[in-house]
């Protein structure tokens, strides 16, 4: 959510940012309802002040006295007036909040203007994705692939996009998760195992609701299966005030992630490319507002270092204003080279939300100088998502004999150098 004061004081700034974001939100409609709300709240508060003043007088009058009775009669009218106006105010307030929720976050000045995927800026390449990968094939074409990654039985038991990971496939997932968690812990991210179901308040605070309702699985109890650990992790400090000296707070969490992804099709969803349930380790930072862009680059660096240790060629994208998410001010994507499919796969998205989530979630720090609570900034990024990293590892490192050679960093976690599909 944006600061309503920004909307009042600098509407042009908001309008310009909305244009840059290629959003079609009606900023002036939001301003109009904000005006209406302010008028109403002032009226209601004035009437309440009258009530309160009368209350003080009545307390001093003898209970059954004529003056007292007269005052009761007089105040009945005021009471009715308050009731009526208050109902109108509440109604308006709901609309006001809904209207404010429709405004996306404003892109940072360093974000390139653009509308589509091809407007994203490639900042850098790492590793040699143009090298020879002599045995690379799309991972689902690897001989006996289904022995370790059983999509057929997953479809039977649950549905498409819910594979079983079997034997060395499962072991490989575990090795990657342990590797990610261990590396992140060493970089100062405290490990957390959060709940993987969240309530509507939490999903609203991070921006999944109401904007992306169709993304999540929902239960009868109105709980949502998390689409990312970002949701429970960010909400850990919801409605809390953190000591300024504790910033930045850094945490990481592994969770399965659940996404409905309604409407996707084609090569994007083959094999491990896109699943309804997948494993991911998420990095999260709560930072002082003055530090959030410095911290964002550090966060991205931390995610990158994982790819470097896994010896996977990757590139860094700076997302353009129109292709960024609803809640972000700036976003980098890390894409790994998948030699078999000959395409880039997104494995991490590192974002600054500034105070957008913090305002919805009411997460603040206490300014040591003024003693006042102020909204902090939240950042997050994947570190990393398992299935696509897995896809690239399998494809890029496939040997002539059908085995997959693992990078040195992963060997201690997997327990041996090669993944075998023979059984």
Partner RNA sequence: GGAGAGGUGGCAGAGUGGUCGAAUGCGCACGCUUGGAAAGCGUGUGUAGGGUUAAACCUACCGAGGGUUCGAAUCCCUCCCUCUCCGCCA
Give dist(CA 274, CA 158) in Å, integer.
16
Which DSSP symbol is given to 326?
Answer: S
* Minimum CB distance to RNA, residue 43 (Å): 9
Coil, strand or helix at 391:
helix
User: What's the angle, vertex CA 152, arms to CA 150 and CA 157, rounded to 5?
Assistant: 95
Q: What are phi and psi of 129, to 5 degrees?
A: -80, -10
- 224 Cα distance to chain centroid: 14
* Minimum CB distance to RNA, residue 239 (Å): 9
* Minimum CB distance to RNA, residue 14 (Å): 15
Give the DSSP H or E segment for 364: strand 363-366
Residues near RNA (CB under 7 A): 4-5, 38, 41-42, 44-46, 48-49, 51-56, 58-60, 63, 71-72, 75-76, 78-79, 82, 90, 364, 371-373
Coil, strand or helix at 30:
helix
Q: Among all chains, which residue has been given the structure tokens 């998390």?
A: 226
Q: Are strands 314-318 and 164-165 parallel, antiparallel or unpaired?
A: unpaired
Which CB, 52 or 369, lies closer to RNA? 52
Which CB, 5 or 263, lies closer to RNA? 5
Q: Among all chains, which residue has been given the structure tokens 């990757």?
A: 314
Q: How far is CA 41 from CA 48, 79, 92, in A?
A: 10, 16, 10
What burial letters (b/e) apply to 17-27, b meaning 16+ CB within 10 Å?
bbebbbbeeeb
Which CB, 44 or 345, lies closer to RNA? 44
């Amino acid at each position: 959510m944006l600061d309503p004061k920004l909307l009042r004081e600098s509407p042009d700034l908001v309008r310009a940012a909305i244009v840059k974001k290629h959003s079609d939100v009606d900023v002036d409609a939001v301003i109009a309802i904000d005006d209406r709300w302010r008028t109403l709240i002032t009226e209601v508060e004035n009437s309440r002040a009258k009530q309160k003043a009368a209350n003080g007088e009545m307390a001093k009058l003898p209970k059954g006295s004529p003056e007292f009775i007269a005052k009761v009669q007089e105040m009945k009218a005021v009471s009715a007036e308050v009731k009526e106006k208050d109902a109108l105010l509440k109604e308006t307030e709901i609309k006001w909040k809904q209207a404010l929720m429709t405004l996306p976050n404003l892109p940072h000045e360093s974000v390139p203007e653009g509308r589509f995927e091809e407007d994203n800026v490639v900042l850098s390449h790492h590793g040699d994705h143009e090298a020879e990968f002599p045995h690379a094939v799309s991972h689902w074409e690897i001989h006996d692939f289904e022995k370790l990654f059983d999509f057929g039985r997953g479809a039977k038991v649950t549905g498409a996009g819910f594979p079983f990971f079997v034997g060395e496939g499962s072991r490989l997932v575990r090795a990657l998760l342990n590797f990610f968690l261990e590396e992140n812990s060493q970089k100062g991210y405290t490990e957390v195992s959060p709940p993987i179901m969240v309530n509507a308040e939490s999903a609203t605070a991070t921006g999944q609701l109401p904007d992306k309702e169709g993304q999540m699985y929902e239960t009868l109890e109105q709980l949502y299966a998390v689409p990312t650990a970002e949701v429970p992790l960010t909400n850990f400090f919801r409605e809390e005030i953190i000591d300024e000296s504790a910033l930045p707070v850094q945490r990481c969490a592994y969770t399965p992630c659940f996404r409905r992804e309604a409407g996707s099709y084609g090569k994007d969803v083959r094999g491990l490319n896109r699943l309804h349930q997948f494993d991911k380790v998420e990095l999260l930072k709560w930072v002082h507002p003055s530090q959030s862009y410095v911290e964002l680059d550090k966060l991205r660096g931390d995610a990158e270092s994982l790819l470097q240790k896994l010896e996977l060629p990757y590139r860094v994208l700076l997302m353009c204003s129109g292709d960024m998410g609803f809640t972000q001010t700036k976003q980098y994507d890390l894409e790994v080279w998948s030699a078999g499919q000959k395409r880039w796969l997104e494995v991490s998205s590192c974002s600054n939300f500034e105070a957008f989530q913090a305002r919805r979630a009411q997460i603040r720090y206490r300014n040591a100088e003024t003693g006042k609570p102020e909204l902090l900034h939240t950042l997050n990024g994947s570190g990393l998502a398992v299935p696509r990293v897995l896809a690239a590892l399998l494809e890029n490192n496939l040997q002539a004999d059908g085995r997959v050679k693992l990078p040195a960093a992963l060997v201690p976690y997997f327990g041996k150098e090669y993944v075998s599909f023979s059984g």
